Structure 1
């Protein structure tokens, strides 16, 4: 745990509410949720109670209000990043990368590089390794893009190359500690959702948010439409590609833009077609092969997958709009 008194925040009354099972559990108030998650981040909860809380939320699930409270506490756990706008006043983009690839090539680094080439400052944050998966961190290393080891290195990389990869331990050690508990307990916890919706910038920046299970789409929609503080800077929400925020090269999924308390569908879903044009992809999933393929795409030797090209166009258009630009919204495709 930490050097603080681990028994200084008793959790019995919270566990009593959230730990009654899928049918009897009740949501905590926003204030109680904030106080509980803040104590967890600070290491003021005993290991026994921490395990009970994490499992209770694993079974119950988080409401939009609970997610908003946890996110607020998470944001206070690290120093926000100051990033200068890119070309044509492009606001920065945050891309979470916590899943990696297991069945398809991980093209998150390609998306980041293409956005940076368009003059958009891009922060990719995530884990450095995940057994059985190919992480963005491993691919960035093969591309010669170093992992930022501190807050200052993150800001320096964004200023110099408009691109940074930050291990979550560099961005927020407290959140990294809670993520690591998965390897002890064997299951994910609320923090795995929170790191995918972080707003890491001091100025309003756009977040790419993805979901795998439909119930998370519902809770995230509620979060971004009902809680203005959680939606600051806006978010693009789409079904993930193996949990990554990059577009799926096999099909076009729906992309929704949340801003100013509104939701606008920018890209409508398309079903995969049996006779769709072939999309050239890396021959292997490993980091080295994927990195060499990405380099060939960036040189123009290999065509950009259409779904990724379309994603880049939409993101680049959104980040060049003023934050509160209801009258000048990107046209849906």
Structure 2
């Protein structure tokens, strides 16, 4: 493959560069995922794509290449859609509530698969919190399928489902910039489109990109603004939550533009031990669940098929929150 040709096309800056067509993007990204691009050319491609900006057809080609190589898992024998939670950021300013959402869903019998990174590089990751709770990462497809069959919250490292994307993420430490892999990993569904994806981004332009791309791919997803990059509702201010399904987009909750009148009781520190202690109190019912998290839980129960309609899902969560 002539990588210099691709670099000439995409490396002329935002104004002069040409966006790749779907087939070209799929071919190029496949080579990148397979480790077939030399380091110098790979660095040039990643920087050129970063400077040019991401576009839908190109990202769809990248996603197609990633999905062709993605390890997929068996659907649990249940009418419910498994909830897929990409967790790649962790937290450093507030508690990472992604594990709490997963455990709340497990309480209702909803299958949950989390994929992401173990090392947080100074942040508190979902994997670290789960480990404190005795939930260890799975190491293989068979291991993951067994966990899912047993109804356990399942954490799968990215290196298990997509070694190629895991390698591309490490390029950030060498180049100093994020690349398209950072966007793609947050849209991976290891159930081949049969899961309910929690899709989130911090910046509005990435939310728009995800909305358009997931719609184009026919994904079933809940789209919301991320909390420190994690796909969980900000406990102090509910984000807009959209439900993408069957080619439509339903608004389930609008964004709250003011902080809550009554601030939730949150842990004073966001380290692993403090977060786990607080989470256990919420699960035990001795500390109130933050309202935005309860709202997101209701969205998940509805979109996964646990509740027949959205009002029923909200009522179920209201009873749970008061229990």
TM-score range, shorter chain: over 0.9
| Deviation for aligned residue 1:329 | 6.7
Given candidates 259, 266, 280, the residue that maps to 2:245 is: 259
**Range with greater deviation from structure 2 (180-189 or 96-105):** 180-189
Contact 2:32 2:164 in 1 (8 A): no
Contact 1:82 1:202 in 2 (8 A): no
Given candidates 47, 71, 90, the residue that maps to 1:55 is: 47
Q: Does 1:170 align with 2:155?
A: no
Q: Distance in 2 between matches of 1:223 and 1:330?
A: 25
Within-5 A mapping of 1:18-97: 18-86=10-78, 89-97=79-87
Q: Which runs of 5+ in 2 are unaligned?
A: 315-323
Contact 2:298 2:310 in 1 (8 A): no
**Range with greater deviation from structure 2 (277-286 or 103-112):** 277-286
Partner SS, residue 224 of structure 1: helix
Q: Distance in 2 between matches of 1:170 and 1:301?
A: 37
Partner SS, residue 95 of structure 2: coil
Contact 1:34 1:72 in 2 (8 A): yes
The aligned residue for residue 124 of structure 2 is 134
Q: Distance in 2 between matches of 1:154 and 1:138?
A: 18
The aligned residue for residue 241 of structure 1 is 227
Contact 1:251 1:270 in 2 (8 A): yes
Within-5 A mapping of 1:146-295: 146-202=136-192, 204-225=194-215, 227=216, 230-232=217-219, 234-273=220-259, 276-295=261-280
Q: Distance in 2 between matches of 1:214 and 1:59?
A: 18
Q: Decide whether aligned partners of structure 1 residues 76 and 287 sit closer, same or farther in structure 2, where only a CA change above 3 A counts.
A: same
Q: Does 1:119 align with 2:106?
A: no
Bigger helix fraction: 2
Partner SS, residue 150 of structure 2: helix
| Deviation for aligned residue 1:231 | 2.6
Q: Decide whether aligned partners of structure 1 residues 203 and 16 sit closer, same or farther in structure 2, where only a CA change above 3 A counts.
A: closer
Deviations 1:167-198 (A, max 9, x none): 11122222111111111212111111100000
TM-score between both structures, scaled by the size of structure 1: 0.89
Q: Which runs of 5+ in 1 are unaligned?
A: 1-8, 323-327
Contact 1:235 1:258 in 2 (8 A): yes
| Deviation for aligned residue 1:56 | 1.1
Aligned residue pairs total 313
Q: Distance in 1 between matches of 2:4 and 2:310?
A: 49
Q: Does 1:298 align with 2:290?
A: no
Q: Distance in 2 between matches of 1:18 and 1:190?
A: 14
| Deviation for aligned residue 1:78 | 2.4
Contact 1:90 1:319 in 2 (8 A): yes
Q: Decide whether aligned partners of structure 1 residues 292 and 321 sit closer, same or farther in structure 2, where only a CA change above 3 A counts.
A: closer
The aligned residue for residue 3 of structure 1 is none
Would you identify which runs of 4 or more consecutive aligned residues in structure 1 move more than 6 Å? Answer: none
Q: Distance in 2 between matches of 1:265 and 1:135?
A: 29
| Deviation for aligned residue 1:203 | 6.1
Partner SS, residue 161 of structure 1: coil
Give the RMSD, CA atoms, in angstroms.
Answer: 1.9
Q: Distance in 2 between matches of 1:59 and 1:270?
A: 33
The aligned residue for residue 4 of structure 1 is none
Q: Decide whether aligned partners of structure 1 residues 216 and 329 sit closer, same or farther in structure 2, where only a CA change above 3 A counts.
A: farther
